[in-house]
Amino acid sequence: MTGSLGDLMQLGSREGVSWLAGAEELGNVIFALVQATSETNHHPAPGIFLLSDGGFIDKIGVAAYTLVEYGAEWDGNELYDDLIDEYSTPPDDIANGHRVVMGDAPDFESRIKGYVVSVSAAQEIFPGFSFGVTGHALYSHFLMRNGGWLEETFADSAHLHPFQTENDGIGWGYGATVGLLYRVNNQISVGASARTPMTITHDGSFEATSTLDGVGTSRINGEFDFTYPLWAGLGFAYRDFLFEGATLTGDVHYTRWSAVDEMEFLVDGESLGTSELNWDNTMQIAVGFDVRVSRSLSARLGYRNVPDPVPDDTYDFVAPQSQKNVVTLGFGYRQDVWTLDFALEYYMGDERSFELEPWEWYGHNKQGKHLDDLIVPSLAFTYGF
């Protein structure tokens, strides 16, 4: 039996320019700098895994674990503090019209959670060669909060109203994974696995709120689809590599992200709006090194390259994505019937920069420079009965 717990912490930042075109009615376009960092929230990812001899089947396993736990949250008042200052004028300054911001700035948030319950069976077909299959039931929760500004103008003044939208939904999906393992000899093993795509219909809701009368909506119930894409991997392990007690591992992962092409919110079969995504397929390469320091203690080092599936055209800072170099440090401590494993992953994101023309700024959340790093500590405890 193994129990595990990870924690994803997003470290995002944005530096650029925002603007408000509506102020042109009073003779001004408002430009403002954006310098903000995302909230450092915790995203816990628990898991439990049970593996047993299966009698006529070599191995049977049952697991409940976190497939994905990701998200970012941005404080609107930090994103728009300069815009609010630039827009606002004191009551006695009406040279360009009296301008007032009504209420707090909209917040931005993305969150996607995927929890899986799995049942597995594995059988050795002939000496050294095993085949396994796993069935999955996936619970998915998806949340997106966005916002913006609406201007209400008068003869000699204007009010700037925030608006906030929220799209939230949950759903269940089902899929399977198949795997092969071949032990070439006592030192070298090669394996391959593939997981089917899972398109989940989320029962969701949409709501818009604003301080401007007549703009907000009551909560609308509907549905939207999101696809957890096809995933396939090929890997190897080389024991006693270079010296006794050292293990070298390597693998290649392919993810068919092109299945994530759009998200459309439907109410009674009618579209409320479609968000184009058009993600790209990716290939990851990873390598790891495990050294047994003593009878009980092992030290580990790993690296992998994580390509970015999100193209420039559909990038959105609310859910920041970038190509990342990932470094992992860890250790394992063994006793007769139990093992404790710890790992610390640091995702170093490449900077994404967008230099748009001023007339392209409105309606986009990407002008300027964007960075996003991740820190993921994890702990696992295994006990053998």
Predicted confidence pLDDT, tens digits, the chain (385 residues): 999 999 999 899 988 877 665 555 555 567 788 889 999 889 999 999 998 887 778 889 999 999 999 999 999 999 889 888 888 876 555 555 678 888 899 999 999 999 999 999 999 999 999 999 999 999 999 999 988 888 888 877 888 899 999 999 999 999 999 999 999 999 999 999 999 999 999 999 999 999 988 887 888 999 999 999 999 999 999 999 989 999 999 999 999 999 988 888 888 888 877 888 899 999 999 999 999 999 999 999 999 999 999 998 888 888 888 999 999 999 999 998 999 999 999 999 999 988 866 655 555 567 789 999 999 999 999 998 7
The answer to whether residues 140 and 179 touch, using CB atoms and an 8 Å cutoff, is no
In whole angstroms, what is the distance from residue 195 CA to residue 176 CA? 6
In whole angstroms, what is the distance from residue 265 CA to residue 206 CA? 8
User: Where in the chain are the domains?
Assistant: 2-383
pLDDT of residue 45: 95
**Nearest 5°: phi and psi at 185?**
-160, -165
- ∠ CA 98-99-103, rounded to 5°: 140
In whole angstroms, what is the distance from residue 273 CA to residue 364 CA? 17
For 132, 185, 243, 376, 384, the CA distances from 250, given in Å and listed in that order, are 20, 17, 17, 21, 27
Reference 80, options 149, 21, 151; nearest CA is: 149
Taking residue 375's Cβ as centre, other Cβ atoms within 10 Å add up to: 14
pLDDT of residue 152: 85
Its CATH class, for the domain covering 2-383, is mainly beta
In whole angstroms, what is the distance from residue 48 CA to residue 271 CA? 39
- ∠ CA 143-147-148, rounded to 5°: 165
Side chain identity, residue 44: P
In whole angstroms, what is the distance from residue 343 CA to residue 376 CA? 8
Cα torsion at 177, 183, 189, 193 (round to 10°)? -10
Reference 231, options 203, 259, 202; nearest CA is: 259
In whole angstroms, what is the distance from residue 265 CA to residue 274 CA? 7
